[in-house]
Structure formats: C-alpha cells, structure tokens
Amino acid sequence: MVPPMGNRSVEPDTAPAQQADVPQLPWRVPLDPAPWWAWALFILPFIVVPGLNSWLWMGARDMLAVGLLTIIGASVVRVAGGVVLYRVELTGTALKARTSMLIRSLAWQDVDSIEIGDDNVVLTRGQDESEINGIPKDRTAEVGAVMEAIRAQAADTPVRRHRPRPGIGAALVLLYLVLSIGAFLLRWHIVI
C-alpha cells in the first residue's frame, strides 16, 4: 500500500491468477529495493537545512526564513519517506505495509477484490484502492495468487483491525525539526 490511498484505475491481467499454496506465514512480499533518490531526498534535508539555518543572520526576516526552510525540509522528508514501500508482510489476518512514516494494516475481510497489474497488485475496499508497487514482474501473479489464497482462508476468522501507527520515519522527522531549529538557536546563543 502506497500513499496516497486514492482511487486509481489499473488494468488487471486478463489471464487468471495462478493457483498458489499458502507459504508459511508471515510471508514477505518480494519488493524491489527502495530507489536511491528516495534515500537521498530523505537524508539530504538532515544535512542541508540545519547547515543553512546555522548560517542565517539574526533578525525578524531570518526567523521567518528558518521557519520556512524547516517546514519545506520536513515536507521533503515526509513525502520522500512516505511514498516508498520498505516491507509488505502477509499474515493470516491482515496485510501489513511499512513505509518510513507509517505502518498500515488491512484486514483480509475488508478486501473486496484483488487485481494484478504489470508490477503491482491492487487491493480494493469499497471506493478505496491500496496499491502495492515494486513487485518484480515475474512474481506479480504469484503474489496475487498467494493473497487470494490467504484471503479465502481468512474469511471465517475474526476480524482484527489496526489503526496506522507511526514508523521510524516519524521519529526521524521530529529529530530533523530539533536539529534544524536547534542549529539556529545554538549558533546565535539564543539557548545555551
């Protein structure tokens, strides 16, 4: 599942998904490694913005600049970290997806349909679609078939729903805010 969780139309495979045996659970969905640009966008503001904030001159306009740089950098960190899937696990009760910012869970009983694309699988729940990108093209049909098999087995189990919870990225964004504002405050001896 990749944010944003909006509606998106995906052309499903016309061939039926191959039958799959359920592997030992929890099972990790094979994903391509996170792209280098996501790591660069996530790490770069930690270095650049505190450095820039420590060099700004003191004054009302500079305080505004510190605030704007901090907000822009935090947005870059949040977006870069939030759009990349780092891990997707299938359990007997739910699908769990980890981005850098959130850990999301989707109960199998809430999934209405599973569509298989070229390099993704889309789980539909009412009007919402949860898209799992980055699956190797030669394994997409296998992943979709495993999901269908687990979903069928979970039909009679009690539903356990979980709210999204913060991942390590949320703590890193807080660390970023402390570093970027703290560099300015320490540089100009506003705090000791």
Q: Residue 80's pLDDT is what?
A: 67
Q: Residue 17's pLDDT is what?
A: 42
β-strand partners of 27: 90
pLDDT(192) > 70: no
Are the C-beta atoms of 30 and 140 separated by less than 8 Å?
no
- Angle, CA 162 vertex, CA 156 and CA 164 arms, to 5°: 145
Q: Residue 57's pLDDT is what?
A: 64
Q: How would you label 76-110 residue by residue, b for 16+ Cβ within 10 Å and e otherwise? A: bbbebbbbbbbebbbbebbbbbbbbbbbbbbbbbb
pLDDT digits (tens, 9 = 90+) for 96-139: 888 766 778 888 888 888 888 888 888 888 888 888 888 888 88
> Which of 121, 102, 120, 119 has its CA nearest to residue 111?
121
Rounded to an integer, the average pLDDT of 42-62 is: 74
pLDDT tier at 20, thresholds 50, 70, 90: low
Q: Is the dihedral of CA 54, 59, 65, 70 positive or negative?
A: positive
pLDDT(61) > 50: yes
Rounded to an integer, the average pLDDT of 61-80 is: 76
What is the CATH number that goes with domain 27-156+163-187?
A: 2.30.29
* pTM of the predicted structure, to 2 decimals: 0.60
